[in-house]
Amino acid sequence: MKDIKFGNRIIGENYPTFIIAEISANHNQSFDKAVEIIKAAKEAGADAVKVQTYTADTITLNCNSDDFLAHGLWEGQSLYDLYSEAYTPWEWQPKLKEIAEKEGLEFFSSPFDFTAVDFLENMNVPAYKVASFEITDIPLIKYMASKMKPMIMSTGIARLSDIDEAVRACRDVGNNNIILLKCTSAYPAPMEEANLRVIPNMIETFDVTVGLSDHTFGRTVPLGAVALGAKVVEKHLIMKRSDGGPDSGFSMEFEEFKEMVKAIRDLEKAIGKVAYDLTDKQIKSREHSRSLYVSTDVKKGDIITRKNVRSVRPGFGMATKHIDEILGKKFRNDYKMGTRMKWNMVE
């Protein structure tokens, strides 16, 4: 797994989890709301904000046949109408990028066709995101990857063979800056379909950085993902779910997002590193371990037995592993109960 430079940040094994706030459709066609979400993402502790670059005409057809009807949360809407409502106006995006960067955030997007890639290239975005439903669009992936920027690919509808083909598409054009996101494309996604054990398997199988794009409720799945090796976490951010909109039902409110970021940072401290050296506090705590002490008043020449020498707390005496070596031998002098056993006390 290699370190990947993402704008002014680095994503890698020895760096903090890279946390992305997905704005998606949660601006509800209000530029000011989009700005509010960006500023909230900064306050919550995110590293980046992401939008989506498409129009209804670049992503689907204006057609009302059964093939072009949405399902799930959006049942009954045509895809064209849904995307007309959900898209982020392209003229906003350079302005939003500028605002995000002033906030110290990275700003990037999911392009959904070649024209969107060209548009984002002119904006000089630091990376590209392949949405789950585009992971089978190999020509689009190759075109994005040819820009030689980090490729973040969600795998929400992908079979193993699809992931392999998408990874090879990037590598075929010489781009090895690949991040795969474990994702479940259900809105919201059930906990039992998260299958987080895929994360370490993806790392081993593809030798790439792996993260999570999450649509479950709450922070349980992101925390589990980080514990299993995820180095990127992406969640949809909304100020309040009551604001409504196409993605509101599975988005995380500001306070929830902020709590998730804090929990991830706390978890990272707990995960730490592979180390068997003791900290100063642990060394001090060893004083409360067990050791051998004189447990009754004894006289010179008394035989050492399990009654007059015992393993007790604290740990200042002889190590307990030596008990069998000293049993049956004699005390060199008189000793009071509570005396630490030492080798020089034994004849």
Report the CATH number that the domain containing residue 304 is assigned in CATH.
Answer: 3.90.1210.10
Domain contains 5 = no
Q: Give pLDDT, residue 1.
A: 74
Residues 168-213 have pLDDT tens digits of: 999 999 999 999 999 999 999 999 999 999 999 999 999 999 999 9
Domain contains 1 = no
The rounded distance, in Å, linking the Cα atoms of 22 and 129 is 11
Q: For the residues 317-334, what does the mean pLDDT come to?
A: 98
Bridge partner residues of 182 (DSSP):
212
73 band by pLDDT with thresholds 50, 70 and 90: confident
Domain contains 215 = yes
Q: For the residues 215-224, what does the mean pLDDT come to?
A: 97
Helix 220-227 and helix 254-271, axial crossing angle in degrees, nearest 10: 20
**Percentage with pLDDT > 70 across the chain:** 100
In a 10 Å sphere around its CB, with 0-12 CB exposed, 13-18 middle and 19+ buried, how is residue 39 labelled? middle
The kind and range of the H/E element at 22 are strand 18-22
Structure tokens at 86: 């959900």
Query: 143 pLDDT exceeds 90?
Result: yes
Does 77 lie in the same domain as 170?
A: yes
Residues in the chain: 347
**E strands, 184-274, in order:** 209-214, 232-238, 252-253
Q: How many CB atoms lie within 10 A of CB 265?
A: 14
Query: 303 pLDDT exceeds 90?
Result: yes
45 band by pLDDT with thresholds 50, 70 and 90: very high
Domain contains 194 = yes
Domain containing residue 74: CATH number: 3.20.20.70
Does 167 lie in the same domain as 25?
A: yes
Domain contains 4 = no
Q: Give pLDDT, residue 113.
A: 97
Q: How many CB atoms lie within 10 A of CB 260?
A: 23
The rounded distance, in Å, linking the Cα atoms of 301 and 14 is 60
Does 290 lie in the same domain as 190?
A: no
Does 328 lie in the same domain as 191?
A: no
The maximal CA–CA distance of the chain, rounded, in angstroms, is: 102
The rounded distance, in Å, linking the Cα atoms of 47 and 119 is 23
DSSP line for 205-221: HH-SEEEEEE-SSSSHH
Does 185 lie in the same domain as 285?
A: no
The rounded distance, in Å, linking the Cα atoms of 74 and 117 is 27
Does 261 lie in the same domain as 305?
A: no
Q: Is 7 helix (H, G, I), strand (E, B) or coil?
A: coil
Does 193 lie in the same domain as 64?
A: yes
Residue 335, C-beta contacts closer than 8 angstroms, at least 6 positions apart: 294, 297, 298, 345
What is the rounded average pLDDT for all residues in the chain?
A: 96
The rounded distance, in Å, linking the Cα atoms of 11 and 9 is 7
Q: For the residues 115-135, what does the mean pLDDT come to?
A: 97
Query: 286 pLDDT exceeds 80?
Result: yes
Does 301 lie in the same domain as 225?
A: no
If one counts the domains in the chain, the total is 2
Does 324 lie in the same domain as 262?
A: no
134 band by pLDDT with thresholds 50, 70 and 90: very high
2 band by pLDDT with thresholds 50, 70 and 90: confident
Structure tokens at 301: 């020449």
The rounded distance, in Å, linking the Cα atoms of 164 and 112 is 20
Q: Are strands 209-214 and 232-238 parallel, antiparallel or unpaired?
A: parallel
Q: Give pLDDT, residue 115.
A: 98
Domain contains 51 = yes
Q: Give pLDDT, residue 75.
A: 84
Domain that holds residue 228: 10-271
State which of 242, 271, 300 marks the end of a domain: 271
Domain contains 3 = no
81 band by pLDDT with thresholds 50, 70 and 90: very high
Does 239 lie in the same domain as 291?
A: no
Helix 160-172 and helix 138-145, axial crossing angle in degrees, nearest 10: 40
